[in-house]
Amino acid sequence: MTSNESLKDYQQVRGLAIQSLFEIIERSSEGTVIVDRDANIVWMNERYAKRFGLKSADEAIGQPCEQVISNSLLRQVVRNDQPILLDIQDTPKGPLVVMRLPIHDDAGAVIGAIGFALFDELRNLSPLIERYLSMQQELASTRSLLRSRQSKYNFAHFIGTSAASLEVKRRARRSASAESPVLLLGETGTGKELLAQAIHGASPRAHKAFVSINSAAIPADLLEAEFFGTAPGAFTGADRKGRPGKLQIAQGGTLFLDEIGDMPLPLQSKLLRVLQEKEYEPVGSNEMLHSDVRVIAATSMDLEAAIKRGEFRADLYYRLNVLPIQVPPLRERLDDIPALSEAILEELRSQHELDRAALALLAQHAWPGNIRELRNVLERAALLSDDLVLDAGEIRAAIGTFSPVARGAVETVEGETFAAARERFDRQVIGAALVACEGNVVEAAKRLGLGRSTLYKKMVALGIT
């Protein structure tokens, strides 16, 4: 046999093999599609056409492959001249295992690509598909959980332009870029959790979870498990798979410890270890886990008094009190009530407005429940009113027990000018604040809602040392 005859036989066998291979795969596959060098479909079998909702394969001819097969990678195969031998592609009727190959002319140039969709006949790939579906479900669940753990509020939600409110927002914004613990101090209902979420949202950890835990809302015997999680079968009735704690859920993000003053003493020592050593053990486990969380704590309790009573650890207080922020009660920021009221009514999707007398009455109440009480009063008044403009009578009825703001009697001196009276009043107020703060100018400035440099300037002008 001559070499020319051998070559002829080789080419014939090769052609038949290619044709046979194509027919076998096309017949056993879920679908086959061929595209040209522009990734436009030039042929598709009927099974594949029906899978994508086409009445006939003829409807696909000439269309870009992505228009018929969403997420198709045949264009990439044509462009890169690289096959994709095994891949998983999502379709409306379930995932397919697919193979994509470039097509060359006699000169070796790419002139198109062919794709085979393999599914039912390759049963040994079903574990791979099940694994893929499981991973997809787990990923979707994780993304859903992370979205639910994102902070809802930013600094724009802390309404107020009074000096006290601006100082709180200034300190909170500054703390957002740091990694040190933040301690939010203030009465209940002043917006401490809102500020905590705003700090998280403005921090480098904003893309991670914001997880909160209220020490006062969980029984003491369950709080440790809630905080650190449990190992599998840690105690009778425990989950066999174990249960992650809030520390693990917040990994990489922010952990907000509300009402930290109510945390039991044994748990306080373990929290201190987390803050100092960045590690902890789940309940019932000997495994040490690394902790990467930023802690923001809040309390309405006087922690220094709690330390003296032996109810709070001094070392934990000093570790948490790195960046303290005093959130003022509403009675100390009455100038913010008009803006707060407008924002609350808008949030309630109410069309109601407040007349001047109603606003004046709101500014005369001491608000022991702070912003939470203000929201309650406005919601009640709006629900009970037949008019869109709320008057003082309706507001007074909604408040119930009225607590007037304590105002000191104005002392007057005969013949004293307004400027002199104001100077004397400023001297008295600043002097009283300094005495109450034992001469600490920073604390006095915070109490007065002033910047430190502003207070120093006033002290110099008034001759206060």
Span 124-177, pLDDT tens digits: 556 666 676 667 666 665 555 555 556 678 888 899 888 889 999 999 999 999
CA distance 52 to 56: 10
In this prediction the pTM is 0.58
Local confidence band at 409 (pLDDT 50, 70, 90 cut-offs): very low
Res 109 pLDDT > 50 = yes
Is 249 in contact with 209 (CB distance < 8 Å)?
yes
The DSSP 8-state label assigned to residue 225 in this structure reads H
Closest among 82, 43, 94 to 73, alpha carbons compared: 82
Distances in Å between the alpha carbon of 413 and those of 138, 303, 422, 424?
76, 42, 12, 10
Residue intervals in the chain for CATH 3.30.450.20: 3-126
Is 337 in contact with 359 (CB distance < 8 Å)?
yes
Displacement of CA 55 from its chain's centroid (Å): 46
Q: Which residues lie below 8 Å from residue 146, measured CB to CB, with a gap of 6+? A: 208, 209
Architecture of the CATH domain 330-399? Orthogonal Bundle (1.10)
Local confidence band at 89 (pLDDT 50, 70, 90 cut-offs): confident
Query: Comparing 49-58, 237-246, 266-275, 358-367, which segment has the lowest mean pLDDT?
Result: 237-246
CA distance 362 to 341: 9
Q: Name the fold adopted by 3-126.
A: Beta-Lactamase (3.30.450)
Residue intervals in the chain for CATH 3.40.50.300: 155-232+243-322
Local confidence band at 390 (pLDDT 50, 70, 90 cut-offs): very high
Is 292 in contact with 248 (CB distance < 8 Å)?
no
CA distance 234 to 225: 10
Q: Name the fold adopted by 155-232+243-322.
A: Rossmann fold (3.40.50)
Mean pLDDT of 80-91: 86
Query: Comparing 150-159, 242-251, 301-310, 353-362, which segment has the lowest mean pLDDT?
Result: 150-159
374, two tokens: 């203000």
Residue-wise pLDDT for 228-279, tens only, equals 988 876 555 555 667 888 999 999 999 999 999 999 998 999 999 999 999 9
> What is the DSSP pairing of strand 294-299 with strand 323-326?
unpaired
Query: Comparing 99-108, 408-417, 434-443, which segment has the lowest mean pLDDT?
Result: 408-417
Amino acid identity at 143: R
Q: Which residues lie below 8 Å from residue 41, measured CB to CB, with a gap of 6+? A: 33, 34, 35, 60, 61, 62, 63, 64, 65, 68
Number of residues that this document lists for the chain: 465
Residue-wise pLDDT for 209-229, tens only, equals 899 998 888 888 788 888 898
Res 345 pLDDT > 90 = yes
Q: Which residues lie below 8 Å from residue 337, measured CB to CB, with a gap of 6+? A: 330, 359, 362, 363, 374
Instruction: Identify the H or E element spanning 361.
Output: helix 356-362
* Residue in the structure block whose two tokens are 């109510």: 262
Residue intervals in the chain for CATH 1.10.8.60: 330-399
Question: What CATH number should be reported for the domain whose range is 418-462?
Answer: 1.10.10
Res 359 pLDDT > 60 = yes
CA distance 327 to 324: 10
Q: What is the pLDDT of residue 202?
A: 92
